[in-house]
Structure 1
Amino acid sequence: MWKLNEKSNLPIYLQIVDLIETKIMNGELLPEEKLPPERQLAEIFGVNRSTVVRALDELTARAVIIRKQGSGTTVNAEKWGLFAGQSTNWRRYLTQGGFTPAVPYIRQAGVMERANSDQVIDAATGELPLEMTPKLETPSLSWQSFIAEEQLEDEAGYRPLRETIQKQMKKAYGLQTRPEQVFITSGAQQALFLITQCLLKPGDAVAIESPSYFYSLSLFQSAGLRIFALPMDEDGVIISELRELYHKHRVKMVFVNPTFQNPTGIVMSLKRRKELVDICAHLKIPIVEDDPFSELAALDEKIPAPLKQLDTDNVLYIGSLSKIMGSTTRIGWLIGPTAVIERLALARQEMDFGLSIFPQVLANSVLNTTGYHSHLTQLYQVLERRRDDLVEAFETILPGELTYIIPKGGFHLWVKLPVKFRSIRDFDIFLAHDLLVMPGFLFGVKETVIRVTYTRLEKQESLKVAKIIKQILIERTCEEV
């Protein structure tokens, strides 16, 4: 609401300045968002237009807004401006830091998710619900037993778990590696953080497939990296585009998620995988392969083997148990050259990012139980059924209205809507209808697309999702008319 503080003793133009700055800080005004015209603001505040002009002049001088003749007034996208004042400018520190605050959409979705209202349908969370986590017995160990297991841990993690992962990768994909090349991490994001902080330097260019969930992570910005989008088609990343990016920007590393890609669900073809590892080996560009669904993918013989199998030297492979055993597991691993593993392990130790022995011992126990493979099979079947239920709901409620490719696995359906959204705030309409989805702008694209996650959707909920989207399309179409 555009309302001034009636109790303020500041001149009116400064009250307007404070109000706009506060709206920016609260996320009510976003980077590049347009402000109302001067005449309209004057009417809203009940003041002369000259007062509004003076306020906008002050905001322009502070680099908070950008005014262009014929284009109107927009919020400065470059860190939202630098703010003046005699006191410590904490806003400047907050906005110039590498880890950017969550956008209002994500904050509001988080509030709605935590509220756990019966009315809210969660088609956004990429985590397993409790009923789909493994129903396996864990070992009964004493405190002394855990302390004793610490003797089997070094900087790279709990050795029995590293050996288990090495054996499973060999069994599933024939990947020849040694335990010394396996680094246990506190989830996949810790592996990504260490790679960006320790193997790259500020200003380095990296190529990230587009769209990708990587764009929602602040760790690339915190490392000062220059990010370039690597377009994809139905077979995966487009090799000619990578070659062009390399020659233009001297790309130092490529980040991909080739199996059940997040958010599109695409599986990179074997031919494209071979082309990717060949061109990167030729250009001497390391590949970071994020493969959170490797265990599920191994159940399908039609899914190509990881890039790591095609090039064991030039690929850093990241795996995780969070998509198999639940997000609270927080166990991931990185497979790479021994020298790289040693460097990253020592760096983590210097940063004091310790990894508790407890989840490592438990994860190793679960991975070696006889029921683990049965859990994988059951999980695969449930996910497949929920995917089919969502697709059936779309085909029943919205026949021919949505564009998507049915994924071969994973958690997500990438859906293009037949309407146009003029700004990212337009996606708030989903929140208004108590439906949590992930908009395309979070994945680095400006199209009107959403990621619908089906892991938590029973059949009736999938029907509700389809009906809500149908209603949203009707409302948006009426607005366009």
Structure 2
Amino acid sequence: MWQLSENSSLPIYLQIVDLIETKIMNGELLPEEKLPPERQLAELFGVNRSTVVRALDELTARAVIIRKQGSGTTVNAEKWGLFAGQSTNWRHYLTQGGFTPAVPYIRQAGVMERVDTERVIDAATGELPLEMTPKMETPSLSWQSFIAEEQLEDEAGYRPLRETIQKQMKAAYGLNSRPEQIFITSGAQQALFLITQCLLKPGDAVAIESPSYFYSLSLFQSAGLRIFALPMDADGVIISELRDLYHKHRVKMVFVNPTFQNPTGLVMSLERRKELVKICAHLQIPIVEDDPFSELAALDKDIPVPLKQLDADNVLYIGSLSKIMGSTTRIGWLIGPTAVIERLALARQEMDFGLSIFPQVLANSVLNTSGYSAHLKQLHQVLEKRRDDLIEAFETILPNELEFIRPKGGFHLWVKLPIEFRSIRDFDIFLAHDLLVMPGFLFGVKEAVIRVTYARLKKREAVQVAKILQQIIMEKKCDEA
């Protein structure tokens, strides 16, 4: 915090000098980090701007900071190391690391979601609210019982859970797999992380359908991969575009989310699925199929079978319980060739010594209860109702203003707005109206589109979302006029 001590006998400008030097020494201000503008510092300290200028002049004379006209004031990287006792230049490591920090929009949205829960409408979080998680009791097991279950676990996970997943995938889709082809992970993102780190190398080209939530994950950049957008139409990824990408860039892997695609909600047609697995098999390009809504999709007989069922050898299939049982479940699975599963399992073992037995035992217990099927059906009904309520609110309050396709399932509505956004910062208008949505730039597109998540919206909140969008559209149109 930029707050001066109330007990100091030093002149105020020296108190400011002391505070900034202390922040640098403690690592709160890193080398090359920019300080707030003079006017803002004066407001924070509650002093005249001339006092701040005098303090900054003193720090400049000591070579603690560097002031450049038009560029602002930054911590001197060279002096910082001496000043802080030869401390490491963490700014260098932070900027060179593979994982990029969250964009300001996401950081601010996260703060608002945590701090202003009562005031903010959350149509961004792609997770189940508490009231929609399973209302089932977990088994009463002693600590020793859990420890004993570790005897049934190896590097690929808890075997009874793998057998349960095998049976469920067989019953739902006729997918034939063996327990040794199933790898339990701590969610879908761990599976993606292991794939990018262990099966690909820096510089490899990958094709990702566009738009896609994959673009919001830094794990692809951290692996040094070259990412190429794979355009879609109403039936899914465009095969001719994939063929062109392969010949131009030697694509090594394709990442798709064919069922209730995030963010569009689209379902790839069966014909397009067959074309995709055929061309990828011909070109020898593995497919990573992310299918977080598989359990819900299985309730709808009109939804095509997974790509994995069409080509068991060339598809790595990722499933998850987070969209069904809540994000804290942290249970996912990867189905693939035995050799791939063994490689990834050993890599995970070296990284974190395996997965905790507790969530695996609990998940297996819940999946085998009679109440699980009832939960799926109820969840399916609630999601359909919330989807319909949001669409009704849009059609009533904003008739003919918004463009969207009615999703067959999932959590999201992909909405094109009748306005223009010239920069990423324009999307801050949603935050200013206490509405959390996911803007299109997070999914790799530049148009004025947003992902509205209806899973957490009751009917009253759906109406509020429509009214806020109406107000934003009116304001933007007035600005453009």
What range is the shorter-chain TM-score in? 0.7 to 0.9
* Secondary structure of the corresponding residue to residue 99 of structure 1: coil
Map 1:19-418; keep pairs closer than 5 Å. Answer: 22=34, 55=68, 85-86=78-79, 87=81, 88-418=88-418
| Contact 2:31/2:91 (<8 A) preserved | no
Whole-angstrom distance in 1 between the partners of 2:407 and 2:462:
16
CA-to-partner distance for each residue in 1:273-304, whole Å, 9 max, x for gaps? 00000000000000000000000000000000
Deviates more, 1:117-126 or 1:392-401: 117-126
Counterpart CA distance in 2 for 1:56 and 1:320 is: 53
8 Å Cα contact 2:216-2:443 kept in structure 1: yes
Q: 1: distance between equivalents of 2:355 and 2:68?
A: 52
Instruction: Assess, with a 3 A threshold, how the Cα gap between structure 1 residues 58 and 136 changes in structure 2: closer, same or farther.
Output: closer
Within 1, Cα distance between the matches of 2:198 and 2:368? 33
Q: Which residue is equivalent to 2:44?
A: none
Partners of 1:432 and 1:6 in 2: CA distance: 35
Give the distance between the partners of 1:57 and 1:287, measured in 2 at CA: 49
- Equivalent AA in structure 1 for residue 228 of structure 2: F
Partners in 2 of 1:268 and 1:217 — Cα distance? Answer: 22
Moved over 4 A (4+): 5-9, 18-21, 56-59
The alignment partner of 1:85 has SS state of helix
Query: Displacement of 1:451 after TM fit?
Result: 0.3
Q: Among the aligned pairs, what percent are the same residue?
A: 83
Q: Distance in 2 between the 1:351 and 1:372 partners? A: 33
Unaligned stretches of 5+ residues in structure 1: 10-17, 25-44, 46-53, 65-82
Letter in 2 for 1:156: A
Contact in 1 for aligned 2:113/2:122 (Cα 8 Å): yes
Local SS of the residue matching 1:317: strand
For 2:253, give the aligned amino acid.
Answer: M
Indicate how the Cα distance of structure 1 residues 256 and 6 shifts in structure 2: closer, same or farther if over 3 A, else same.
farther
Moved more, 132-141 or 256-265: 132-141
CA contact (8 A) 2:152 2:159 kept: yes
Separation of aligned partners in 2, 1:21 and 1:325:
42
The CA RMSD over aligned residues, in Å, is 2.4
Q: CA deviation at 1:85?
A: 3.4
- Which structure has the greater CA radius of gyration? 2
TM-score, structure 2 length as denominator? 0.84
Could you tell me which runs of 5 or more consecutive residues in structure 2 were left unpaired when the two chains were aligned: 1-11, 18-29, 37-52, 54-66, 82-87
Instruction: State the distance in 2 between where 1:292 and 1:308 align.
Output: 14
Question: For residue 269 of structure 2, what is the amino acid of its counterpart?
Answer: S
The secondary structure found in structure 1 opposite 2:208 is strand
Say which SS state the counterpart of residue 261 (structure 1) adopts: coil
CA distance in 2, matches of 1:187, 1:449: 28
Distance (Å, rounded) in 2 between the aligned partners of 1:133 and 1:263? 22
- For residues 305-350 of structure 1, give each alpha carbon's deviation from its aligned partner in whole angstroms, at most 9, with x where no partner exists: 0000000000000000000000000000000000000000000111
Distance 2:443 2:98 in 1: 18
CA distance in structure 2 between the aligned counterparts of 1:445 and 1:122, rounded to whole angstroms: 22
**CA displacement at 1:117 relative to structure 2:** 2.9
Q: For the residues of structure 1 that align with 2:399 and 2:169, how far apart are their CA atoms?
A: 42
